[in-house]
Amino acid sequence: YEAEYMLEQGFSDVTVVDIAALPLERLRSRVGDRSGLKTIQSNFFDHQGQYQLILEQTFFCALDPALRQDYMQHMHSLLKPGGHLAGVLFNVEFEKEGPPFGGEESDYRKLMKPWFHILLMEPCENSVQPRMNTELFFVAEARSDAH
């Protein structure tokens, strides 16, 4: 739905990557042949590309926490110099074994620090009702001195 919204807002180059075919097929059926939309069925960690902006929405929380450092490193590699990663992250630990897997702001800041300058990280004020008061909105810029 984020891709549809971006197209409606005038973004002219939107790429959606998903490991599963069905969500991509459903997206294409909803938006039709709009120019500016590219869908790629791929494992995130195998995907190569260069983007100015990547939106995170419920992918990070689905990953085993052991993959979080790899996620940050790969996100950094997908961004053009000065590119941005933005989105929402859970700001709550879940009692059940995930996914989804939660976390805390301080942990996210430590995890991002080697790869990103965090420009904004604050409680998300427009979450969908089931996730209200449990998410952080963030914007981070790819570090040029990442290691």
Residues 128 and 66 in one domain: yes
Residues 56 and 103 in one domain: yes
Query: How many domains is the chain built from?
Result: 2
Q: What is the pLDDT of residues 67-120, one digit of tens each?
A: 999 999 999 999 999 999 999 999 988 888 889 999 999 999 999 999 999 999
Residues 80 and 17 in one domain: no
For strand 14-18 and strand 37-41, is the pairing parallel, antiparallel, or unpaired? Answer: parallel
Residues 8 and 37 in one domain: yes
Please give the pLDDT value at position 42: 96
Q: Which of 5-9, 21-25, 94-98 has the lowest mean pLDDT?
A: 94-98
Residues 106 and 144 in one domain: yes
Residues 35 and 103 in one domain: no
Taking the C-alpha atoms of residue 53 and residue 139, their distance in angstroms, rounded to an integer, is 10
Residues 125 and 68 in one domain: yes
pTM higher than the cut 0.75: yes
Residues 121 and 55 in one domain: yes
Q: Which domain holds residue 4?
A: 1-42
Residues 146 and 116 in one domain: yes
Residues 38 and 63 in one domain: no
CB under 8 Å to 88, separation ≥6 — which residues? 56, 57, 124, 127, 135, 136, 137, 138
Q: Residue 99's domain is classified under what CATH number? A: 3.40.50.150
Residues 68 and 136 in one domain: yes
pLDDT band at 33 (very low <50, low <70, confident <90, very high): confident
**Positive or negative torsion for Cα 101, 104, 110, 113:** positive
Residues 69 and 88 in one domain: yes
